[in-house]
Structure 1
Amino acid sequence: MSGKYAPRNEQGKHVIAKDDPHALRVLKEEHHIFRRLFDEANHAGEDRLLQIARELCMRLSVHMTIEEEILYPALKPVIGADEVDEGIVEHQSGKRICAELEQLDGTEELFASKVHVLGEETVHHIDEEDEDLFEDAKEAHEKGKVDLDALGEELRARQAELYDQIAETGETGKTCDAVADEVERV
């Protein structure tokens, strides 16, 4: 099945390159899954859409957590706060929509629209990460300013831990999500 998002997985900076450090490979693999799932969601019936939405929200929760706990703190002092802070704000928007979706059963009038908007926002975010943040991180890695291979091991280990928690409890448990206080004050 093709769509408007998944073909990007094979284009430009979205491709998992042979010289991508481990951290970028881990995250781009997830980005590829997100694009495929959002394409599938755009063509899914009500029952399948609910399943896709649940999987997306679970995967996004894990993905955002590992970025906020491990990747962003490592990159912020190396590449600067602007790109990282923008990512945190975009995560907050995704978390809000996921929280709304998790309260619904899929039969609501706006359910499909909420999934669609989550897709638009998420794909915009991951496209920017692939094209900008990850390229800046890769450059910093090549200059020895950050070890993205070691960071990849941390990301993968934390990801596995969170998926294990979900399998055991149905919840991600306590995470160290970034808090962007400035959003709350606006």
Structure 2
Amino acid sequence: MAGKYAARNTEGRHVVAQDDPLAISLLKEEHHVFRTLFDEAETAGEARLAQIAGELCMRLAVHMAIEEEILYPALKPIIGDDEVNEGIVEHQSGKRIVAELEQLDGTEELFAAKVHVLGEETVHHIDEEDEDLFEDAKAAHERGEIDLNALGETLRTRQAQLYDEIEATGETGKTREAQPDEVEKAG
């Protein structure tokens, strides 16, 4: 049975539609994984919660990196600053919690609460992307203003590179993510 988040994967604009360009389908599929993992986290025991949190931290780091390196810069001149800047700010909030979780082992009193809050913030963010940002991007794609299939290939390639780096080193290495001072400049 799907929990409160994963149930959305089969609803409305969260569904990977047949006519979704590759960039959107790739990111929506990742969103489905996030919702499912956050649901599992809600009822997981301490050991399993620590495993889920580790997977979420790794997947979120890669997901945010490819959006910030590739998707957001490509969309900003087409759909405007507001949605992209909001996404960057929401990523910064998520990164703070991810950084805190990566310093913990899962036995701490606030560990489950941190995972829960990360879930609430992440699902809010990905829901907005599915419902607004991706729809605006898809409309621009249909007007010929951006090729989201080619962009999807770039996203997939970079995603694979980052996962390979994690497998080889345990770290994502240097990414070209938006930094906090860029967020301040963006406002």
TM-score (structure 1 length as normaliser): 0.97
* Structure 2 unaligned blocks of 5 or more: none
Match of 1:11 in 2: 11
Percent identity between the two aligned chains = 77
**2:177 corresponds to 1:177:** yes
- Aligned partner of residue 127 in structure 1, secondary structure: helix
Cα deviations across residues 45-100 of structure 1 (Å, max 9, x unaligned)?
A: 00000000000000000000000000000000000000000000000000000000
Match of 1:119 in 2: 119
Deviation at 1:184, TM superposition (A): 5.9
Match of 2:141 in 1: 141
Give the Cα separation in 2 of the matches to 1:105 and 1:99.
Answer: 12
Deviation at 1:127, TM superposition (A): 0.1
**2:168 corresponds to 1:168:** yes
Match of 2:23 in 1: 23
Match of 1:68 in 2: 68
**2:54 corresponds to 1:48:** no
Across the aligned residues of Structure 1 and Structure 2, the Cα RMSD in angstroms comes to 1.3
Give the Cα separation in 1 of the matches to 2:180 and 2:169.
Answer: 28
Cα deviations across residues 89-147 of structure 1 (Å, max 9, x unaligned)?
A: 00000000000000001010000000000000000000000000000000000001110
Match of 2:97 in 1: 97
Deviation at 1:178, TM superposition (A): 1.0
Give the Cα separation in 1 of the matches to 2:173 and 2:8.
Answer: 33
**2:129 corresponds to 1:129:** yes
- Aligned partner of residue 108 in structure 1, secondary structure: coil
Cα deviations across residues 24-48 of structure 1 (Å, max 9, x unaligned)?
A: 0100010000000000000100000
User: Do the aligned residues in 1 keep the contact of 2:94 with 2:121 (CA within 8 Å)?
Assistant: yes
Q: What amino acid sits opposite 2:32 in the alignment?
A: H
Give the Cα separation in 2 of the matches to 1:178 and 1:32.
Answer: 24
Cα deviations across residues 133-174 of structure 1 (Å, max 9, x unaligned)?
A: 000000000001110000000000000000000000000000
Moved over 6 A (4+): none
Deviation at 1:2, TM superposition (A): 1.9
**2:115 corresponds to 1:110:** no
Aligned length: 186
Match of 1:157 in 2: 157
